[in-house]
Amino acid sequence: MEMTKRKKIVGTVELVAAAAVLIVAVVFAPAYKTAVGDSDSTAPQTEASAENPSQQDADSADAAENSTTTEPTTAPPEVGAYTVTPNYIVVTGDAAMEMYSVSKKKLTEYGGTVNALSAAVPEVKVFALLAPTRMEYYGPEEYRTGSHSQKRGIEIAYGAMNDNIVKVDAYDRLSRHTDEYLYFRTDHHWTARGAYRAYEAFCASAGLTCKPLSDHETGKLEGFVGSMYRYTQSEALKNNPDIVEVFYPTVDASGQFFSSPAMNDGKNLRIISTNINDPASKYMAFIQGDKPLIKMTSNAAGGQKILLIKESYGNAFAPFLLENYSEVYVLDPRQEGVKGMNLPQFLRDNGIGNVLFLNYMMAPSNSKYMDALNEMIH
C-alpha cells in the first residue's frame, strides 16, 4: 500500500482492510489461475527433478529454470486438508506432488517439435507419449481440473501434431489402474509399475505384444525419499519412504552408455540396479539415471530398432522396450555431450526406424530441454 503525498494518515478502517487483503493474497497465492488452454504464461515450477549434488546423473533438472525457489522459506499455508508450499508443491498426508499448469503456446510448440523431426525423417515412424503426473489422479480436485487439467494439456499437444504421428494414450490406461502403486509419494516420478501401464498403451498403439508384468522377475529398493521431500522437508514424507520396485527384462539384454553421439567411449550399463544405498538416489535403479546416450541390445524377435527421447520420466520406461526391440537407443537432450548433435543423421546412420518422444507433462515448459531438443532437429 502506497501512501500518497497528500494523505499522511490512513484511517484505521483502511489499514484493517488493506491488511486483510494482504493476508488473503499470501494464503491463496498458490491457487494459480491461468487456464492451460487460453494463456501463454507458465506457472512457476519446482526443481522437482534437479540433480542431487552427490549424484551428477540423478534426477536431472526437468523444470529447473522455471523454479521460484528451491525450498520453502516459510511454513506452507494451510489450505483445507492439504498444504501448498511457496514453490508450488501440494502436500497431502504422506504424499506430495507438483502443481501443473502449462500454456497452450508451449504445448503447441511441443507438438511442432515432434512434427519437425517427423518431417526431417519421413521414413521413420514417430510416436509421442505425454505422461501425466501424480497430481492428475491423486491431487486435490481444484489442482487437477479446469486450468490445471493435464488431460486437456495432452489434448492440446496431440492436437498440434500431424496425423502421421502416433499419439499414445497413456492417460486412459493409467486412469484404469489408480488402485496400484503408479507414482511415488516422496518423488515426482512414476514407479516402474506406472511406467509399465504406459508401456501397455504404447504396445497397443504400436501393434506389439505386451508381456504380462507377472512374467518379469522382480526386486525392490526400500527407503526411497525423493525430490518431493527434498523440496518440502515434510516430516510426513521423511517418515513414510517409498519402495522402488524393479522388473527385470525377460529377454537377454545388455547395454552401454556414451558421452557423445560418436559412441566411441562406451561403458557397461546396468539396466537395473538394486545396490543403491543413498535414500535420495534410488530412482537411479533404472538405466543408472540420466546418461547422454545409451544403446541397449536384446534377443527380442523382429530386429526392430527404436530411439527413446526422454527426460528422467523415461528411465523407468526404457527397460520395457527391450521386450519388443532388438536395439534400444535412449537420448537425453539435456546432457552436455549430445548437445547440437544432428538427430536426423544419427537415425539414418544407425538404421533406426522408430522414435518415441516420452515426456512428463512439465517438459514442454522447460526451455532448457526444448531448446536442446530443437537444436538437434533443425
How far apart are alpha carbons 363 and 369 in whole angstroms?
7
Write out the three cell numbers for 112: 511442432
What pLDDT shows up at residue 102?
A: 76
**In this structure, is the dihedral angle defined by the CA atoms of residues 265, 270, 271 and 275, taken in order, positive or negative?**
negative
pTM of the complete model: 0.83
Which pLDDT score, from 0 to 100, does residue 164 have?
98
Return the pLDDT at 103: 87
Domain boundaries, the chain: 104-377
Report the residue count for the chain: 378
Nearest to 57 by CA among 334, 372, 359: 334
Other CB atoms within 10 Å distance of the CB of residue 137: 18
Confidence at residue 92, expressed as pLDDT on a 0 to 100 scale: 94
Q: Taking Cα atoms as reference points, which of 182, 166, 223 lies closest to residue 313? A: 182
Half-sphere exposure of 342 (CA within 13 A, CB side): 9
Q: How many helices (H) and strands (E) does the chain have?
A: 11, 14
Task: Give CA–CA dist 320/211, Å, rounded.
Answer: 9
DSSP state of 120: H
- Taking the C-alpha atoms of residue 353 and residue 181, their distance in angstroms, rounded to an integer, is 33
Per-residue pLDDT of the chain (378 residues; tens, 9 = 90+): 433 333 333 343 333 333 333 333 333 333 333 333 333 333 434 434 333 333 333 343 343 333 322 233 334 344 448 999 999 999 999 999 999 987 899 999 999 999 999 999 999 999 999 999 999 999 999 898 877 899 999 999 999 999 999 999 999 999 999 999 999 999 999 999 999 999 999 999 999 999 999 999 999 999 999 999 999 999 999 999 999 999 999 999 999 999 999 999 999 999 999 999 999 999 999 999 999 999 999 999 999 999 999 999 999 999 999 999 999 999 999 999 999 999 999 999 999 999 999 999 999 999 999 999 999 998
